[in-house]
């Protein structure tokens, strides 16, 4: 495949994941793919308006394209948070309508908004009026006892009329009572066909699919036409985080471009400058290295790599030499001193 300027901006994205896709994680993912679109963890609109916006919204310029995911249900607050996010330089504002956690439900946002498409439409319209960035929505195919056919159609009709620029659909229902967030990612059955049927209804609306995608080969298959319908993008979540090496396949397989690094060790060597800069700014090494533990799988030395970082990176004052030592434990590497040289 050769790069195509007409490819959707949402052709491949890494899902927003609470406690995972922070700025250190996103910079690491960017090392592995220049083309993937990255998403922040969900940040509530009120936290942005009333909290430490630099801590919540700051990011490294290498992360572009990067989207800010917001949580909330008040159009005025979401519009203000979107304006602040736009001022920080984000490339997209995304509204979370898919998270089923109790805390999110208690704040009246996330997946429970699937039952209030008109409210979501008001939120989208307010954000669209506030910023010039794309405003998108991430949702489920339905919640609880909803029939996904009419429920998703009604939801999509409302947000499309409000001007959403794309819809990212986790192809499972969410059960707001009785299942934990983890179970909601695994137990409700996947229904990819439902997402394709929605795309058929909205051929001009960018529609991306999420849920249960474990490899770039699976992502590529979902981008192929199905009964004449072609989706605009795929979003990977846990697989991209837990097995980040697969992100190195994104650029060559899905975009026809060269992989930015030759292998996992080359990725870490490219990441070292960022790690050193963050350590100098007072960030703990473990806050950075926790995102790279899954990089080496079925590779000689991978277990020792993980163990070394798990034990040594959490120690007070741990520096970049700990990461270099871990790298040296992967088979075929020189000694830490030689790497440093």
| Active-site residue set | 99
The CA distance from 43 to 205, in Å, is 25
CB 248 within 8 A of CB 33: yes
Distances (CA, A) of 98 to 57, 131, 168, 262, 289: 21, 23, 10, 36, 28
Spatial neighbors of 145 by CB under 8 A, at least 6 apart, are none
With CA atoms as reference, report the closest residue to 11 among 224, 160, 229: 224
- Tell me which H or E stretch contains 17: none
The CA distance from 222 to 323, in Å, is 37
Distances (CA, A) of 303 to 43, 158, 185, 297: 34, 49, 27, 8
170 in helix, strand or coil? strand
The CA distance from 172 to 92, in Å, is 24
101 in helix, strand or coil? coil
With CA atoms as reference, report the closest residue to 226 among 213, 251, 211, 209: 209
Task: Name the residue with tokens 């870490």.
Answer: 268
């Amino acid at each position: 495949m050769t790069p195509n300027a007409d490819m959707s901006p949402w052709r491949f994205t890494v899902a927003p994941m609470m406690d995972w896709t922070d700025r250190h994680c996103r910079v690491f993912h960017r090392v592995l793919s220049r083309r993937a679109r990255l998403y922040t963890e969900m940040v509530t609109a009120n936290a942005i308006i009333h909290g430490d916006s630099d801590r919540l919204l700051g990011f490294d310029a290498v992360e572009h394209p990067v989207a800010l995911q917001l949580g909330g249900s008040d159009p005025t607050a979401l519009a203000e948070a979107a304006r602040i996010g736009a001022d920080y330089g984000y490339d997209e504002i995304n509204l979370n309508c898919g998270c089923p956690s109790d805390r999110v439900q208690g704040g009246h946002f996330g997946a429970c908004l699937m039952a209030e498409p008109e409210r979501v439409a008001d939120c989208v319209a307010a954000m669209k009026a506030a910023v010039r960035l794309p405003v998108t929505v991430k949702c489920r195919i339905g919640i609880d006892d909803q029939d996904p056919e009419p429920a998703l159609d009604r939801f999509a009709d409302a947000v499309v009329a409000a001007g959403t620029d794309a819809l990212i659909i986790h192809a499972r229902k969410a059960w707001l009572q009785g299942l934990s967030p983890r179970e909601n990612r695994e137990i409700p059955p996947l229904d990819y066909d439902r997402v394709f049927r929605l795309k058929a209804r909205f051929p001009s609306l960018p529609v991306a699919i999420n849920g249960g995608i474990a490899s770039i080969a699976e992502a590529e298959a979902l981008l192929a036409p199905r009964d004449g319908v072609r989706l605009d993008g795929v979003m990977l979540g846990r697989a991209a985080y837990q097995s980040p090496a697969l992100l190195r396949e994104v650029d060559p397989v899905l975009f026809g471009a060269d992989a930015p690094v030759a292998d996992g060790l080359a990725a870490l060597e490219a990441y070292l400058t960022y790690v050193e800069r963050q350590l100098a700014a007072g960030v703990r090494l473990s806050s950075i290295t926790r995102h790279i533990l899954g990089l080496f799988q079925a590779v000689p030395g991978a277990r020792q790599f993980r163990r070394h970082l798990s034990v040594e990176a959490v120690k007070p004052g741990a520096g970049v030499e700990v990461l270099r030592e871990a790298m040296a434990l992967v088979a075929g590497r020189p000694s830490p001193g030689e790497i440093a040289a």
